[in-house]
Chains A and B, each alone.
Chain A
């Protein structure tokens, strides 16, 4: 019975999704098909807002002023189809419509709402006002000013966090590329069990991050983690190394940022390895033949052939890696973010998360997020510009 009801639930969900898409397609179909009919405008204006209002009302989502909003939206949609789309390429648009709607709901709406929030003041003391009246006090650019002057956390302000984030990003991406490159070079040789090695190496990346990070976090436990056990054994085996300071470390409490970096480097290497391996395999072997005849040594081939030729694959991967690492909240939150955790390892994004959901400063964090977005945007533009410039030079 349990099974049956859960199957029923899944079926119902699938049906609702399919029906939603069908309704949406029907909606767009009307606009594409009849955009040049005289009754197009009036039928649409009368029909859709009413239907949607009734449907939403029946589902318990009816709200004051909803009908007026639907009416206005529908008028805009009708005008858009009649005067801008004009029935051109309608099949292609029709097929893209569900995807565009999804994107609009998932990306555009939250982004617009975030911008709205950042110019108002939503926090613990104003949230009830928002709930009751639907309005928020407008504060202009004050949130943006606060981002740089009021620390998001108890310990660190914006610029200290920014510095830490840049350091965190640099170290991680550097070792991702270095490690990925080394592993890819090894895997690019004719070795036995290549497929096995590749699979094993990709596992940390293919595993859900939560599982991987929590497992690794356990290994950094001061008493039971293998890292400290190994350090203990080394110190016991070689008093000389022990005298140099090799020994167990209180990873999570004394060096939270280093621990996060170690874990994240381990997590990120497989991605770079796969990308670089793909790049290496696409290099024609005749370049290496020619370089052999020209008398290049192994390192000269690496420097003059391999590196320049994998650059087109490497640059986008590094850009992506930079953005991901800069924005990485999983590792830091999972290693240090639980109750009683330290704030010493926090970077901009994890501080943002805490500001929003631990300290409930919603508008402040909305502005904070937009600042981070602008920084990342600048970094990406810079990367892509230099990459394009490098491509032009070819």
Chain B
């Protein structure tokens, strides 16, 4: 079990800089999920840690050992690939024992370690099958088993669930969470799916365009997104954004946009003269758009909106609302029982409201 440290990591592909000075420390026994849209450099970062990609600049440490020039097999890591990369001409057992056989480990030890991994992942019955004869989920488990057999210091997962269908993905997500509880080792997990990130991570690293946007626990990045990108990326359905201008008026700040004006409480944004005339984006999650229910005491004044479409999800319902030119999405308890076109009174919950500077995109509210 080990710590991992990235210090000023840079990666250039020809003239294209895909990683711009990435600094990140991962503690022992930590489950860190690196999440971001495709092309943000997250997989490249992982492959550099694994030693499969050249490091253009900066240093990577595993347990305080500089690994920049260490061969992948010497870094004591194990990687689970997106396409599993199971050797198609070897049985499950041969796949799992390949690394040990290369090292000429004693036969007894190989057998014991494969059996142990197979036991953890319930692969016992499949040991003599070929990868082709396995389902997607089973292949994924074999790929994880191959990693476990190596008893690595750090497990690397490169989008391991993205080739599975939705139902299987949920099952495997739970299995990986269980596996982490059992192995309790350092895991770095790359995904583009924010749901996986939220559910699995001890800490989430959100990346965009080669830069780390925010590092924090799932609840931190959900409750206090550091900038517009994180706010829009984390959470499903996506946060509502309302663009407008701030005015400072007698002891409080007033937000105004063409369709909507709100008095913001000083708890959210203190009445500071510097806010005068500032262009901002207001962020409210669909859950905090209170439609048709009793507003809490920390709610904005009510305003009217028109229901355009409602989507029933079962226990929840998505309401697509329109106020002036502004479109808002609200998520409410089922069943909302109003037909499209009807008028709905709405207020916004100040407790979970976010204000972002439109120029710097950074969060300015508390």
Q: Give the residues in chain A near B71, CB-CB below 8 Å.
A: 292, 295
Per the bound structure, the CA–CA distance linking A242 and B352 in Å amounts to 92
Instruction: State which of A69-77, A300-308, A349-357 sits at the interface with chain B.
Output: A300-308
Q: Give the residues in chain B near A295, CB-CB below 8 Å.
A: 71-74, 99, 102-103
Q: Give the residues in chain B near A291, CB-CB below 8 Å.
A: 87, 98
| A309 CB → nearest B CB, Å | 7
CB-CB contacts of B147-170 with A at 8 A, as 1s and 0s? Answer: 000100000000000000000000
Instruction: State which of B75-83, B258-266, B312-320 sits at the interface with chain A.
Output: B75-83
Interface membership of B51, Cβ < 8 A: yes
CB-CB contacts of A329-365 with B at 8 A, as 1s and 0s? Answer: 0000000000000000000000000000000000000
**B73 & A294 in contact (Cβ 8 Å cutoff):** yes
Per the bound structure, the CA–CA distance linking A320 and B74 in Å amounts to 43
Q: Give the residues in chain A near B87, CB-CB below 8 Å.
A: 287, 290-291, 304-305, 308
**B85 & A287 in contact (Cβ 8 Å cutoff):** yes
Known: A287-B85, A394-B89, A394-B132. A292 touches B98 (CB 8 A): no
Q: Give the residues in chain A near B98, CB-CB below 8 Å.
A: 291, 294, 296, 304
CB-CB contacts of A275-298 with B at 8 A, as 1s and 0s? Answer: 000000000101101111111100
| A90 CB → nearest B CB, Å | 40
Q: Give the residues in chain A near B51, CB-CB below 8 Å.
A: 292-293
**B88 & A292 in contact (Cβ 8 Å cutoff):** no
Residue in chain B with minimal CB distance to A287: B85
**B83 & A292 in contact (Cβ 8 Å cutoff):** no
Per the bound structure, the CA–CA distance linking A284 and B84 in Å amounts to 11
| A292 CB → nearest B CB, Å | 5
Interface membership of B121, Cβ < 8 A: no
Per the bound structure, the CA–CA distance linking A291 and B102 in Å amounts to 10
Residues of A within 8 A of B (CB-CB), count: 19
Interface membership of B195, Cβ < 8 A: no
Interface membership of B50, Cβ < 8 A: yes
**B89 & A290 in contact (Cβ 8 Å cutoff):** no
Of the candidates B52, B82, B130, the one whose C-beta lies within 8 Å of that of A292 is: B52
Q: Give the residues in chain A near B99, CB-CB below 8 Å.
A: 293-295
**B81 & A292 in contact (Cβ 8 Å cutoff):** no
**B88 & A394 in contact (Cβ 8 Å cutoff):** yes
Residue in chain B with minimal CB distance to A295: B73
**B85 & A290 in contact (Cβ 8 Å cutoff):** yes
Interface range on chain B (Cβ under 8 Å from partner): 20 to 34
Find the residue from A293, A296, A309, A393 having the highest chain B CB count within 10 A: A293
Known: A286-B81, A295-B99. A394 touches B73 (CB 8 A): no
- For window 97-112 of chain A, which residues contact chain B by CB distance below 8 Å? none
**B130 & A289 in contact (Cβ 8 Å cutoff):** no
Of the candidates A287, A289, A296, A393, the one whose C-beta lies within 8 Å of that of B79 is: A289
| A222 CB → nearest B CB, Å | 50
- For window 83-124 of chain B, which residues contact chain A by CB distance below 8 Å? 83, 85, 87-89, 98-99, 102-103
| A301 CB → nearest B CB, Å | 10
Residue in chain A with minimal CB distance to B78: A293
Per the bound structure, the CA–CA distance linking A311 and B51 in Å amounts to 29
Residue in chain B with minimal CB distance to A308: B89
**A296 & B102 in contact (Cβ 8 Å cutoff):** yes
| B139 CB → nearest A CB, Å | 13
Per the bound structure, the CA–CA distance linking A152 and B325 in Å amounts to 97
| B130 CB → nearest A CB, Å | 5
Of the candidates A287, A293, A296, the one whose C-beta lies within 8 Å of that of B50 is: A293
Q: Give the residues in chain A near B52, CB-CB below 8 Å.
A: 289, 292-293
| B164 CB → nearest A CB, Å | 17
CB-CB contacts of B47-62 with A at 8 A, as 1s and 0s? Answer: 1001110000000000
Of the candidates A284, A293, A308, A309, the one whose C-beta lies within 8 Å of that of B83 is: A284
| A303 CB → nearest B CB, Å | 11
Residue in chain A with minimal CB distance to B99: A294
| A298 CB → nearest B CB, Å | 12
| A87 CB → nearest B CB, Å | 42
CB-CB contacts of B127-157 with A at 8 A, as 1s and 0s? Answer: 0001010000000000000100010000000
Per the bound structure, the CA–CA distance linking A300 and B103 in Å amounts to 11
**A290 & B81 in contact (Cβ 8 Å cutoff):** yes
| B114 CB → nearest A CB, Å | 14
Q: Give the residues in chain B near A308, CB-CB below 8 Å.
A: 87, 89
CB-CB contacts of B197-231 with A at 8 A, as 1s and 0s? Answer: 00000000000000000000000000000000000
**B102 & A284 in contact (Cβ 8 Å cutoff):** no
| B77 CB → nearest A CB, Å | 7
Residue in chain A with minimal CB distance to B95: A290
- For window 235-275 of chain B, which residues contact chain A by CB distance below 8 Å? none
Q: Give the residues in chain B near A289, CB-CB below 8 Å.
A: 47, 50, 52, 79, 81, 85
Per the bound structure, the CA–CA distance linking A340 and B293 in Å amounts to 108
**B81 & A309 in contact (Cβ 8 Å cutoff):** no
Per the bound structure, the CA–CA distance linking A259 and B292 in Å amounts to 94
| A218 CB → nearest B CB, Å | 46
Per the bound structure, the CA–CA distance linking A294 and B88 in Å amounts to 16
**B79 & A290 in contact (Cβ 8 Å cutoff):** yes
Per the bound structure, the CA–CA distance linking A35 and B81 in Å amounts to 61
Per the bound structure, the CA–CA distance linking A394 and B90 in Å amounts to 8
Of the candidates A287, A294, A311, A394, the one whose C-beta lies within 8 Å of that of B130 is: A394
**B77 & A293 in contact (Cβ 8 Å cutoff):** yes
Per the bound structure, the CA–CA distance linking A290 and B131 in Å amounts to 15
Residue in chain B with minimal CB distance to A290: B85
| A283 CB → nearest B CB, Å | 10
- For window 296-348 of chain B, which residues contact chain A by CB distance below 8 Å? none
Q: Give the residues in chain B near A300, CB-CB below 8 Å.
A: 102
Q: Give the residues in chain A near B73, CB-CB below 8 Å.
A: 292-296
Q: Give the residues in chain B near A286, CB-CB below 8 Å.
A: 81-83, 85
Which A residues are closer than 8 A to B by beta carbons? 284, 286-287, 289-296, 300, 304-305, 308-309, 311, 393-394
Given contacts A308-B87, A309-B89, 12 further A-B contacts (CB under 8 A): A284-B83, A286-B85, A287-B85, A290-B79, A290-B146, A291-B98, A292-B71, A293-B99, A295-B74, A308-B89, A394-B88, A394-B130
Q: List 21 A-B contacts (CB under 8 A).
A: A284-B83, A289-B47, A289-B85, A290-B79, A290-B81, A292-B51, A293-B50, A293-B52, A293-B72, A293-B73, A293-B77, A293-B78, A294-B102, A295-B71, A295-B72, A295-B73, A295-B74, A295-B99, A305-B87, A309-B89, A394-B89
10 closest residue pairs by CB, A with B: A295-B73, A294-B99, A286-B85, A290-B85, A308-B89, A292-B72, A293-B72, A289-B52, A286-B81, A294-B98
